[in-house]
Chains A and B, each alone.
Chain A
């Protein structure tokens, strides 16, 4: 599992 930092949340 890789930490994802894509900011698709509010």
Chain B
């Protein structure tokens, strides 16, 4: 565990907490893509199956359980408790366009042709693009509340920090995982445009509004 990895995990945790608090405090999930949240739930469930097979550390197990639980809670709030506030019409990204290519890619490019390994690989590929329905929703409505921007910034920073972690681990431990690195780079690139808007607008107290 190095500082980049820890910062990445904490950023990920912060993002999830911000999202849950936003929905809970405002009693609304307006501006949040339920489809991205469904994809994240699939990511956690397919990746953290190893909770049952491999013990790594208490930290590792607790974080996995927290991510799965928080993801389930988010889906419950969006699709059950505050369903009336869900932005159906704008959340129109077709997730099969992400799911199917990720399944195919995981079957072709993986470390090992076993069920666990393919599910892990699928979850890595899917995570890299899971934010697209959310970014699509923001681009459709043309704006995002500040709290939603903070959520997206924390969530995007997490994988960017993991990239630093992988560089560090490559140098310090000669450890690397090409699938994770490739997907992590793609994931971070998808946030770049948002990062730019966040830094130039939201941090200066302005609302995140896309140019018309």
Contacts and interface: CB of A to CB of B under 8 A. Distances in A.
Interface of A: 1-5, 7-10
Contacts of B165: 9
Contacts of B63: 10
Nearest to B162: A9
Contact of A8 (B56, B111, B112): B56
B157 to A, nearest CB: 14
A10 B177 contact: no
B151 interface: no
A10 B67 contact: yes
Given A9-B162, A10-B60, A4 B9 contact: no
A2 B50 contact: no
12 contacts: A1-B174, A3-B177, A4-B177, A5-B177, A7-B50, A7-B120, A8-B60, A9-B162, A9-B180, A10-B12, A10-B63, A10-B67
A3 B177 CA distance: 6
Interface of B: 5, 9, 12, 50, 54, 56-57, 60, 63-64, 67, 111-112, 117, 120, 162, 165, 170, 174-178, 180
Nearest to A2: B174
* A-B residue pairs, 6 tightest by C-beta: A1-B174, A5-B111, A4-B175, A8-B56, A10-B63, A10-B9
B82 to A, nearest CB: 28
Contacts of A10: 9, 12, 60, 63-64, 67
A10 B129 CA distance: 17
Contacts of A9: 5, 162, 165, 180
Contact of A5 (B9, B56, B112): B112
A9 to B, nearest CB: 7
B176 A3 contact: yes
B120 A1 contact: no
Contacts of A4: 175-177
A2 B174 CA distance: 7
